[in-house]
Amino acid sequence: MTTMTEASVREFKMPDVGEGLTEAEILKWYVQVGDTVTDGQVVCEVETAKAAVELPIPYDGVVRSLHFPEGTTVDVGTSIIAVDVSGGAAPAEAPAPAAAPAAAPAPAAQDEPAEPQGRQPVLVGYGVAASSTKRRPRKGAEAPAAKVQAAVQGELNGHAPVAPAAPVLGRPLAKPPVRKLAKDLGVDLATVVPTGPDGIITREDVHRAAAPQAEAPAPAAAPAPVAAPAPAPAASYDTARETRIPVKGVRKMTAQAMVGSAFTAPHVTEFITVDVTRTMKLVDELKRAPEVYGMQGLRVNPLLLIAKALLVAIKRNPDVNASWDEANQEIVLKRYVNLGIAAATPRGLIVPNIKDAHDKTLPQLAEALGELVSTAREGKTSPAAMQGGTVTITNVGVFGVDTGTPILNPGESAILAVGAIKLQPWVHKGKVKPRQVTTLALSFDHRLVDGELGSKVLADLAAVLEQPKRLITWA
């Protein structure tokens, strides 16, 4: 039987997406053990903290092993599937994916053939990683790392520290989140003693290095023994009437981003209630005669005209389109608008954006908006489509909600909440009449946008929706 250590077996690792992500969940396998695969064939779908994407295999061959079952979260750089590129048959009794161990498989043999040179990226929104996040131990570094780990463990257990026989040379081993933590805490990784497997620095190692060292106390009599505190009672849950849902993937990233935004950017929200009867009449006219306006085959709805009206308001008040550079303490004014559209999907809230929306005609904007929404509903939005947004619209009106106080998408200057459009009694030309009315709410970062500027943007937006002819005269 051919063994997994032979050079003919290639290990395909969870790709490094190059955007600071360190793990992904395997949602679905499209192949099984024994299947023949070709270069570029999609073998599985995974969900990162930003999107669900399909992974193509870069080899021709026969699937020898699926290392993880569906639903498993795997670190970037960990092998997830083995392919026999020699064309040999699969073993008679190959393990099923569901029986795969939860732990990562052993690393491939050191003589595993190198990746083909000059390979082009095959994953949309990603790139071919130059190196894996999880590295093999360096030759000759295993023994010193083990001694260092033993020394640290001994010190933690109350024993005198033992100096390692030789220093650990080379670049310290640590995963990207740990490196970022060290940078934030001002810790030089070269000075940190690793306790992780194979000499990898852990988060606890960084926190330990960052903690202030207590001064050595003078010799004194042994203190009186202190009674250990009673352990806290274990939390109990009513499992018959409660359901726990793990927060991961897009939902986890969204939760972290919203907390970071809410407690970093000083939010201000302003509201305006506006008569949009004329805008709704224009929507109906565009639907009835699409060929007259070049809207054939395009979806026309109130959100389309609201988006166009917001772009006009931004053009009249360009300083609202900015971002805050914390490192340099600068405001970055942007001469382009990447218009984000908040979309609710089965995997959670995502905010893809229409690139260079300010340059698009109404038909072009309608086409881009339709593609964005359909792609989001299918769960195929790429990470690149969610990067670089400047201003966002969230349409809470589709749920019958009048308005809300939206939280800024991180890194953006403003977000507009659009409420439900309803027939309401309204004073029109001196008489109370039923009119189509909605309430708009604009939240903005008060470091970038003061009250005057925010008010002007909201007032201009309302003015365009009241009199949509201003789309022509103001644009």
Do the Cβ atoms of 134 and 78 come closer than 8 Å?
A: yes
CA angle 80, 82, 86 (to 5 degrees): 160
Q: Measured between alpha carbons, how far is 14 from 47 in angstroms, rounded to an integer?
A: 11
**Distance (Å, whole) CA 179 – CA 173:** 9
Q: Which of 44, 36, 45 is nearest to 64 (CA)?
A: 36
Strand 73-75 relative to strand 391-395, pairing: unpaired
- Measured CA to CA, the distance from residue 174 to residue 199 in angstroms comes to 9
Q: Which residues are catalytic?
A: 446
- 352 to each of 49, 121, 377, 389, 390, how far by Cα in Å? 14, 22, 12, 8, 11
Phi, psi of 280 (to 5 degrees): -65, -35
CA–CA dist 296, 8 (Å, integer): 54
| Interatomic CA distance for residues 466 and 471, integer angstroms | 11
Token pair of 225 as six digits: 């023994």
CA angle, corner 18, sides to 16 and 21, nearest 5?
75
